[in-house]
Amino acid sequence: MSRITREEVANLARLARLDLAEAELDEYAKQLEIILESVAKVGEVATADVKPMSHATGLVNIFREDKVETSLDREEILKSAPATEDFRFRVPRILDEE
């Protein structure tokens, strides 16, 4: 039984903005199948009374005070961008967006 279909891999690639060739879709479907199979082993031990864990520390309510700290130097930030203009990041236009 396969846990992930070729179509699902194609959809994931689309969401992740990865341009995968036909052959790659087959290859990654196979690899992801192995990963999912391994992870599914956890499901065999976990019973209904075990809550899914998202945080390992058990900590709650860690906050910072509402205090302004110095931001990064703008020149410094923009230096690492591929393109800038008017002190802004320049990005390809996403068509038909407002």
SS3 48: coil
Residue 65 is a binding residue for other proteins (CB under 8 A): yes
Stretch that binds other proteins, among 2-10, 28-36, 42-50, 84-92 (CB under 8 A): 84-92
Rule CB under 8 A: is residue 49 a binding residue for other proteins? no
- In Å, what is the CA distance from 68 to each residue of 61, 63, 65, 74, 75? 20, 14, 9, 17, 20
Which residues, 6+ apart, have CB-to-CB distance to 36 below 8 Å? 3, 4
Q: Is 88 in the site for other proteins (CB under 8 A)?
A: yes
Tell me whether residue 40 or residue 77 sits nearer to other proteins (CB atom): 77
Point out which residues bind other proteins (CB under 8 A). Answer: 11, 14-15, 17, 54-55, 57, 59-72, 74, 77-78, 83, 85-94, 96-98
